[in-house]
Amino acid sequence: QVQLVESGGGLVQAGDSLRLSCEASVRQIFLVPYMGWFRQAPGKEREFVASVRWNGDTTYTNSVKGRFTISRDNVKNMVYLQMNNLTPADTAAYYCAAGPSFKTTGDMPYWGKGTLVTVSS
């Protein structure tokens, strides 16, 4: 069983930065070779943000490229999302997801409960 716990959300102003963290409680790391982030804004569908493979390979949605950086620490079973130059459009609940493969559609076996990011203009 894999448990994911996010942290780091908060209220910031446009142009500010935030770093989200997700800790995976897992007995066998091979269960979560892929980890990443999705977000869901009020009234909108959940969308893919970024993913990172166990070897460090990353993928981003276009709207965050150049502003967000995903990384992971395989020793600590952590994944991070550094978010820079935030805009009000980034306001959403951010969810950590993990699994043996990564589906940008959101078809992932393991999910955290989310952390809220609010960006004021």
What does the pLDDT profile of the chain (121 residues) look like in tens digits? 899 999 999 999 999 999 999 999 987 767 789 999 999 999 999 999 999 999 999 999 999 999 999 999 988 889 999 999 999 999 999 999 999 888 888 889 999 999 999 999 9
Provide the pLDDT for residue 105.
87
Backbone phi, psi, residue 72, to 5°: -145, 155
Answer whether 85's CB lies under 8 Å from 67's CB.
yes
So what's the pLDDT on residue 59?
96
Residue environment code for 93-120, b if the CB has 16+ CB neighbours within 10 A, otherwise e: bbbbbbbeebeeeeebebbbebbebebe
Structure tokens of 64?
A: 């965050």
Beta bridge partners of 20: 81
Q: What per-residue confidence (pLDDT) applies to 31?
A: 75
